[in-house]
Amino acid sequence: MTKATTLEKSPTSIMKSLKALLPLLFLSQTVISNSNSCKCLYGQSCWPSSDAFNALASKLSQPLIRPLPPASPCYSLIPEDAPVCSEAQANAHNGTWLSGVPGAYQNTNFEAYIFPNNTVSACYFNTTLGGTCGQGSVPPLGVDARSPEDIQAAVNFAREHNLKLVVKNTGHDYLGRSAARDAFMIWTHHMKSIDFHDDFAPEGAPDTEKHEAVTLGAGVQWSEAYAAAAAQNKYVVGGISDTGSVGAAGGWILGGGHSAFSGKFGLGVDNVLQFTLVNAKGEHVTANAHTNPTLFWALRGGGGGTFGITTTVTYRTHPIVPLTLALASVNFTSPDAAQRGITEYIHTHVTLSDKQWGGYSFLTNSTLFFGYFAPNVSLPDANATITPLFDVLKEVGEEGILTELIPVESFYALLNLQVPNPAGPQVGNKVELSSRFLSRDTALNRAEETARTLLSLDFVAINYVAGGAVLQVDPESAGLNPAWRNALAQVYIAENWQDGDSADTIHAAQQRLRDNTAILDRISTDSAAYLNEASLHEVDFKKAFWGPHYNRLKKIKNSVDPTGLFVVPRGVGSDDWDEELVCRV
């Protein structure tokens, strides 16, 4: 083996002894030709030679990696791989563990690939289904980037050889933008720098501009960022997920970055001060309000994997504040009771927005669960705000209803509370989402109609991650959909399937998602959606994800990436490519 084909040594040992599987897994199922208008794929005659990969490897701080699906050891005939398989199966729903494996995806449907003849290439943890372990959509080769220089070398190599490129950060990815069959991967998971500043000055800013801030490397996860911020007695606006595995300096912020505390402090894009990134030319550049301001505008909501590869993101920090947690769990006594309860619940969001609350909820046609947070609001004040809703829910709910207010010392103390998640594990599932915004106007004037629409669906989640401070920001200040500036919450639906399901079953689930999106659309304005938690099957993704900002974003995209090195599913500029994002159309 040359350095170019050295197998990645995972900290968890999942990659141990898997060289024996490589001949099986890397049998190419792609075409063997390539045209100038198409990107080069693994297995095609244009794919770089071993000598070319050796030359690339000599420029990197780490050996090249050959990502494998996490279930791969379960198909090995090597006895030593049995405990490796057991470890992988035990962590199939552990976001932190999965994020440390370059070939693992937290939404496992994006590990698979459906061929035009409807056969499925996948590698399932459930080995009783029979079949072999296929590579699916897991890129077969990549770079374990530990520095900007690693990324620069990889970007230059991908551009020079016209490779189909994917960028994999960490955490979940509901649009599969970090996966692509036969592509070349740049993996930034190990870029873990965290630096706090008492007087951060963005590059090019006047001397009078100083901020309390934190600079996070591309691979820092929110669990790591929160632990570091707590040690500094500071708060940084970020996401909440199972095990905190979502990346703090990748797709989360580039897609807008919502938080349960957005109502108090704004979205992620309202708190970012500066990006550093490697662009399509391989240059390591800075973007902020003073240096490359046009690119800075686009990066704040234009989407991940589109304008370059972030190396660091700098956020302003905030003082730690106490909060009050409001919990409710309701089983409704009848459909009429559900209609009344959910109508009041929707309408209450207007008041909660004015008070800068946030949180998460789930509902069916007979149940409601929510956990809402009131930052820097006393228990008596929180009680006065939420009691009208609690009173209605008690009237329409069955015996045993839970309504509770809990004072919490800080956000970090909240993370240690064991709050039940009735939706089950967030990662390790085969799932696709679709979403729409709940606007302030809709909640204020159409609560009854909205409740009826939501109750007609089997399951709905509401991320109460807007309103409050989000409404106070100029809609033209960043590249994200300006509909955020009239939104109180993000409403989303989902469809799931199981290991081994046929392509027909998968396509049927996707069709249900389309059909239910049309129902969900009744509550929205201009079909606006949060692009990080949205559908690959949007009728008009440009309108849904960016609204009137799309044309400006595409102009910026074409300026900084004229050859289309960075192209992702339903991303800015993807409309110039075929469905596989391989050939221009």
Residues 41-92 pLDDT 10s: 999 999 999 999 999 999 999 999 999 999 999 999 999 999 999 999 999 9
Q: What was the pLDDT predicted at 171? A: 82
CATH T-level topology, domain 194-319: 3.30.465
If pLDDT is split at 50, 70 and 90, which confidence band does 35 have? low
Distances 195 to 75, 213, 311, 315 between C-alpha atoms, Å: 42, 9, 13, 11
User: Minimum mean pLDDT among 36-40, 90-94, 148-152, 574-578: which range?
Assistant: 36-40
DSSP state letter for 131:
S
User: Minimum mean pLDDT among 33-37, 52-56, 422-426: which range?
Assistant: 33-37
Contacts of 391 (CB under 8 A, 6+ apart): none
Contact (Cβ atoms closer than 8 angstroms) between residue 303 and residue 359: no
Strands 165-168 vs 184-187: parallel, antiparallel or unpaired: parallel
Q: How far apart are CA 543 and CA 64, in angstroms?
A: 39
Sign of the CA dihedral with 62 first, then 63, 66, and 72 last: negative
User: Minimum mean pLDDT among 250-259, 370-379, 407-416: which range?
Assistant: 407-416
- Detail the DSSP E strand segments found in 177-254: 184-187, 194-200, 211-217, 234-235
Q: What was the pLDDT predicted at 424? A: 66
Q: How far apart are CA 342 and CA 574, in angstroms?
A: 38
Name beta bridge partners: 211: 200
User: Minimum mean pLDDT among 14-18, 249-253, 399-403: which range?
Assistant: 14-18
pLDDT digits (tens, 9 = 90+) for 337-382: 999 999 999 999 999 999 999 999 999 999 999 999 999 999 999 9
The pLDDT of 301-318, averaged and rounded, is 98
Name beta bridge partners: 167: 186
If pLDDT is split at 50, 70 and 90, which confidence band does 480 have? very high
Using the predicted structure, report yes or no on whether residue 476 has a pLDDT greater than 80: yes
pLDDT digits (tens, 9 = 90+) for 457-474: 999 999 999 999 999 999
pLDDT digits (tens, 9 = 90+) for 489-531: 999 999 999 999 999 999 999 999 999 999 999 999 889 999 9
DSSP state letter for 368:
E
Question: How buried is 125 (Cβ within 10 angstroms: 0-12 exposed, 13-18 middle, 19+ buried)?
Answer: middle
pTM of the shown model: 0.93
Using the predicted structure, report yes or no on whether residue 12 has a pLDDT greater than 60: no
- Where exactly does CATH 3.30.465.10 map onto the chain? 194-319
Q: First vs last Cα of the chain: how many Å apart?
A: 39
Q: What was the pLDDT predicted at 36? A: 63
Q: What was the pLDDT predicted at 418? A: 58
- Where exactly does CATH 3.40.462.20 map onto the chain? 323-547
pLDDT digits (tens, 9 = 90+) for 114-142: 999 999 999 999 999 988 999 999 999 99
List the alpha helices (DSSP H) in 246-322.
251-254, 262-265, 268-271, 293-299
Distances 276 to 284, 291, 314 between C-alpha atoms, Å: 7, 11, 9
Using the predicted structure, report yes or no on whether residue 9 has a pLDDT greater than 60: no
* Residue at token pair 């509550």: 523
pLDDT digits (tens, 9 = 90+) for 275-285: 999 999 999 99
Using the predicted structure, report yes or no on whether residue 19 has a pLDDT greater than 60: no
Q: What was the pLDDT predicted at 420? A: 55
Question: What angle do helix axes 148-160 and 50-57 make, rounded to 10 degrees?
Answer: 160
Phi and psi, residue 373, nearest 5° = -120, 135
Kindly report the CATH class assigned to 323-547: alpha beta
The pLDDT of 545-552, averaged and rounded, is 98
Question: Average per-residue pLDDT in the chain?
Answer: 92
Q: What was the pLDDT predicted at 423? A: 59
Q: What was the pLDDT predicted at 170? A: 87
Q: What was the pLDDT predicted at 416? A: 75
Q: What was the pLDDT predicted at 549? A: 98
The pLDDT of 277-297, averaged and rounded, is 98
Quick one: what percent of the chain has pLDDT higher than 70? 92
pLDDT digits (tens, 9 = 90+) for 432-449: 999 999 999 999 999 999
Contact (Cβ atoms closer than 8 angstroms) between residue 4 and residue 56: yes
